[in-house]
Amino acid sequence: MNITFAKIAVPAQGAVVFGVAEGSKSGIKLSGAAAKFDKQAGGALTRAIKAAEFTGKREKTLTIVAPAGTRVTRVILVGLGNTSTLDETAAERIGAVIYDAVSRDTAAAVVLEGLGGAKAKAGDLVAHVAGGVELKSYRFAKYRTKEESDAKPRIKTLVFQSDDAAAAKKSHVAVAAVAAGVFFTRDLVTEPANIIYPQSFVARAKELTADGIKVEALGVAAMQKLGMGALLGVGQGSRRESQLLVLRWDGAKDKKAPPVAIVGKGVTFDTGGISLKPPGGMWDMKWDMGGAGIVVGLMRALARRKAPVNVIGLCGLVENMPDGNAQRPGDVVTSMSGQTIEVLNTDAEGRLVLADVLWYAQERFKPRAIVDLATLTGAIIQALAEHYAGLFANNDELADQLAAAGKHVGERLWRLPMGDEYDKDLRSPIADMKNIGGGKAGSITAAQFLQRFIKDTPWAHLDIAGVVWNEKGTALAPGGATGYGVRLLNRFIQDAYEK
Ligand code: BES
Ligand code: MN
Ligand code: ZN
């Protein structure tokens, strides 16, 4: 899809979209290019607005097909709501609505006049409408050898007309960087587990070197040397070699300034191991590497918009399989931190992987803060469904910054409590801890487990099991991998560390 920005003009062909501010109950009055176009069409728009009682409510559309007196295929009026309250996320959602309205045309002009208010500048809003179009246009069709041609989107070119095209174009550079990151994440998450496994994940992540990111991977021998018995225990039943992926973006002026570390759970398939999962829905566990997928997409977004900040992305990549060499329930493993863990349930594997990656991140990089992302517990889906990811933290400021960023981009977080009452559940009779709690508050005991591998670094854990995949689709994503987290962390890093 080719996106360009231009001055306002009355469009003459293809599909035409006019953004329309919300009017009073008695109706709306067209202005600017829309009014001129309406005149050419003999008042067809005004009549349609009346007949459909279209009020310009945000994200509502009204389509007028092939209006007489013009050569356009269709006109879509899209409601902007109250334009003075438009922010970037609202603009993106409007963009997503526009994509759905024009995807069957080959070319479209989108006219956005008179935007900009208290919450955002016109150029930024136009850029984010374009970003919403891009985000919603995602498709993963590489394995379809036959496809109904009328199911395929046709849209090739979109021109966004606005009062300040130069500002929109400039602002769109960062917006497109983030969209590219989201697409990379969705691609990785959607790939099945016979294609994406630890080493092939690393190979795909090497594409990031073209963006200016340093990519490094540790295999089993290197991890054994480091004493990563917790991570390695999870992968030992798999034919696929476990990997620890380290991505570096040194964008700050001072390349030595302490980085922020973002850690992702990358279980490329989670059968549960010897504590085997039931077959129904097990296919979902191809996206148990969603946290790692976000890390990779985020790094692309940061690099492509040249974020002035140092960030390390780390992914613990393993496949959790039952096998003659798999770890057994009851095994005791020694983590890199030296702490021992009794593995009572081999399906509580994400925390074992993260234990070693979190420790390694602190030892090697001394980060100013660590945020981990993990499809860690089914319990978080029980608690929050697909509407929020769970947020856990040892630091209120960090938690507040993350929650604010999530609210800003519409990828919401809800903080849950932590405390000794929950931590006690992890006591083991023969090791320093066991890898499961007592059965209640499963998401919290999982977070407590992770915290045992955090020294005094500000740390937050996002349990994203409910938000990585959405069969029905979300406002900004078609069904499948949502890419949740890339926009959220991009915003968080920008607001908290790029001042
Ligand atoms: N990957 C799963 C969590 C999960 C479940 C993610 C459903 C997405 C959808 C995780 O490894 C797991 O199996 N967790 C167990 C922990 C339990 C054994 C303590 C769970 O939540 O049941
Ligand atoms: Mn599991
Ligand atoms: Zn898992």
State the burial class of residue 225 (Cβ atoms within 10 Å of its Cβ: 0-12, 13-18, 19+).
Answer: exposed
Average pLDDT over residues 204-218: 98
Q: Which ligand ends up closest to the CA of 436?
A: 1
- Beta-carbon-side half-sphere exposure of residue 312 (alpha carbons within 13 Å): 27
Atom 3 of ligand 1, residue of closest alpha carbon: 377
Residue whose C-alpha is closest to residue 373's, from 136, 189, 205: 189
Distance CA 485, CA 470 (A): 14
8 A C-beta contact, residue 399 and residue 369:
no
Residues taking part in catalysis: 277, 351
Give, as residue ranges, everything with CB less than 5 Å from ion ligand 2: 270, 347, 349
* Cα(273) to centroid(ligand 3), Å: 10
- Residues with a CB atom less than 6 Å from ligand 1: 270, 284, 288, 345, 347-350, 375, 377-379, 436, 442, 465
The token pair at 394 is 């040892």
Q: Decide if pLDDT at 180 tops 80.
A: yes
Class of domain 178-497: alpha beta
- The label of the residue with tokens 């006219």 reads 111
Q: Is the pLDDT of residue 427 over 80?
A: yes
- For ligand 3, the distance from its centroid to the CA atom of residue 349, given in whole angstroms, is 6
Position 422 scores a pLDDT of 98
Report residue 413: phi and psi, to 5°.
-125, 145
CA of 443 to the centre of ligand 1 (A): 9
Which ligand 1 atom is nearest residue 442's CA? 19
Q: Would you say domain 2-164 falls under CATH 3.40.220.10?
A: yes
Residue 45 Cα to ligand 1 middle (Å): 53
Kindly report, as residue ranges, where domains of CATH 3.40.220.10 are found in the chain: 2-164
User: Distance between CA 358 and CA 452 in Å, rounded?
Assistant: 10
Q: Whose CA is nearest to atom 7 of ligand 1?
A: 378
The CA 379 to ligand 2 mean position distance, Å, reads 12
User: What residue spans in the chain does CATH classification 3.40.630.10 cover?
Assistant: 178-497
pLDDT tens track for 80-118: 999 999 999 999 999 999 999 999 999 999 999 999 888
Q: Which residue CA neighbors atom 13 of ligand 1 most closely? A: 347
Across 147-251, where does the E strand assignment appear?
Answer: 157-162, 214-218, 243-250
What residue owns the CA closest to ligand 1's atom 14? 377
Query: Per-residue confidence at 212, pLDDT binned at 50, 70, 90?
Result: very high
**In this structure, how many other beta carbons lie within 10 angstroms of the beta carbon of residue 91?**
25
Give the ligand whose atoms come closest to the C-alpha of residue 318: 3
Q: Give the integer Cα–Cα distance in Å for 318 and 326.
A: 12
- What number is the average pLDDT over the span 473-497? 98
Choose which residue among 231, 341, 347 to substitute to test ligand 1 binding: the one with the highest number of ligand atoms within 8 A of its C-beta. 347
Tell me the CA–centroid distance for residue 441 and ligand 2, in Å: 16
Rounded Cα distance, 48 and 51, in Å:
5
Mean pLDDT for the stretch of residues 18-33: 89
Taking the C-alpha atoms of residue 18 and residue 45, their distance in angstroms, rounded to an integer, is: 11
Which residue among 377, 461, 471, 482 is best mutated to probe the pocket of ligand 1, counting the most ligand atoms within 8 A of its Cβ?
Answer: 377
Q: Which atom of ligand 1 lies nearest, measured to the CA of 277?
A: 13
Cα(377) to ligand 2 centroid in Å equals 8
Is the separation of the CB atoms in 52 and 68 below 8 Å? no
Q: Which atom of ligand 1 is nearest to the CA of 445?
A: 19
Residue pLDDT, tens place only, 215-231: 999 999 999 999 999 99
- The atom number, within ligand 1, closest to the CA of 349 reads 11
Residue (of 126, 137, 207, 206) closest to 167 by Cα position: 126
Q: What is the pLDDT of residues 428-462, one digit of tens each?
A: 999 999 999 999 999 999 999 999 999 999 999 99
Position 426 pLDDT exceeds 80: yes
Instruction: For residues 363-378, give the mean pLDDT.
Output: 98
* Residue of 275, 288, 344, 482 with the most ligand 1 atoms within 8 Å of its CB, for mutation: 288
For the chain, give the longest Cα–Cα distance. 84
Hey, whose CA ends up nearest to atom 16 of ligand 1? 348
Contact status, residue 44 vs residue 66, Cβ threshold 8 Å: no
For a pLDDT cut of 70, what percent of the chain falls above it? 99
Q: Check residue 150 and give its pLDDT.
A: 66
Closest-lying ligand 1 atom to the alpha carbon of residue 379 = 21
> How large is the average pLDDT for residues 24-32?
83
Confidence of residue 27 (pLDDT cuts 50, 70, 90): confident
Distance from the CA of 226 to the center of ligand 2, in angstroms?
Answer: 24
**In the predicted model, what is the mean pLDDT of residues 160-170?**
97
DSSP assignment of 447-459 equals HHHHHTT--SS-E
Token pair of 395, please?
């630091």
Q: Which ligand is nearest to the CA of 282?
A: 1
Nearest ligand (C-alpha, residue 344): 1
Q: Do the Cβ atoms of 211 and 304 come closer than 8 Å?
A: yes
